[in-house]
Amino acid sequence: MKVAVVGATGMVGNVILKVLEERNFPVSELIPVASERSVGKTIEFKGNSYKIVGLNAAVSMKPNIALFSAGGDTSLEWAPKFAEVGTTVIDNSSAFRMDLDKKLVVPEINAQALTKQDKIIANPNCSTIQLVLALAPLHKKYKMKRVVVSTYQSVSGTGAKAVQQLENEINGIEGDMAYPYPIGRNALPHCDVFLENGYTKEEMKLAREPQKILDDRTFSVTATAVRIPTAGGHSESVNVQFENDFNLQDIREILSNTEGIIVQDNPSTNTYPMPILAHGKDDVFVGRIRRDETQPNTLNMWIVSDNLRKGAATNAVQIAEYLNTNKLF
């Protein structure tokens, strides 16, 4: 099993390597890939050292799987080149997510749609993954009509420069700015770039990706995405209107019995999901489950997950595990 990790020196790339090791994915040969300035350097994996190679060299090595986390432009140019030599690409960027010919996969929901012919598979947006994991079983039971989501997203979702900006601000150090304003003691209603309709690209990902993953366009999603000064973990306030009424205890039971979800919902003991508790974990945490008392058949809940793990690296590795288990190479 030859496995290439494209973007191996980046934040998500580092977590992909960690998750591959933790989950004991059967890597017989690791091919770490990064930009030209990193070629020749070494990284550690399972106690061994591996030399970083460039993209051309990695393609020529014909890996079975290539886990991409190197940005959309790199994916658009190089993912097809890997696919041409028989490699199955699992891409973390937004490059292929809304491509009608590419599957957008959260394994617990729609991995069964994958076939040997799928040589480029899209990993959803980090905020989308935790959202749809909680929504999917409820949609199946009660049928969603409309979802309103407000996100509270950590700086790690922007990248290492943003994490450093927050650290600098905490420590009173002047440095490079990843954002147009300070992030410490602040909240920026600005995740990704603004589009002509006034929404950001991140907000439109949340609006469109759930429909594709669930293969259902009968419901709508509207989003406001906000960056907050937490180092890791994304949080979401979610309001869901269903066609059918529900019982709150049934909601809790459905979510508790859903793979990948942990319910933390006990106001009497101040038990609810928080990014600090989700850090380093692969689960999606759901709490503050309550009825919206202003309109019928409507639910409020709070969803938290580690955006670098289930929101990116873990989901990608789980796709690779499904492909391997089902011999879909």
Known catalytic residues are: 126, 234
State how far the Cα of 236 lies from the Cα of 191, in Å rounded to an integer. 14
Instruction: List residues bridging with 305 in a β-sheet.
Output: 234, 284
Contact 44, 32 (CB under 8 A): no
Q: Coil, helix or strand for 291?
A: strand
Contact 311, 279 (CB under 8 A): no
Cα–chain center distance at 244: 29
Q: Which residue has the tokens 């957008």?
A: 104
Structure token digits, residue 246: 């529900």
B/e letters for 275-286, b = 16+ CB within 10 Å, e = fewer, are bebbbebbbbbb
Handedness of CA 80, 82, 88, 93 (dihedral sign): negative
Q: Coil, helix or strand for 203?
A: helix
State how far the Cα of 256 lies from the Cα of 244, in Å rounded to an integer. 20
Backbone angles phi, psi at 290, to 5 degrees: -160, 160
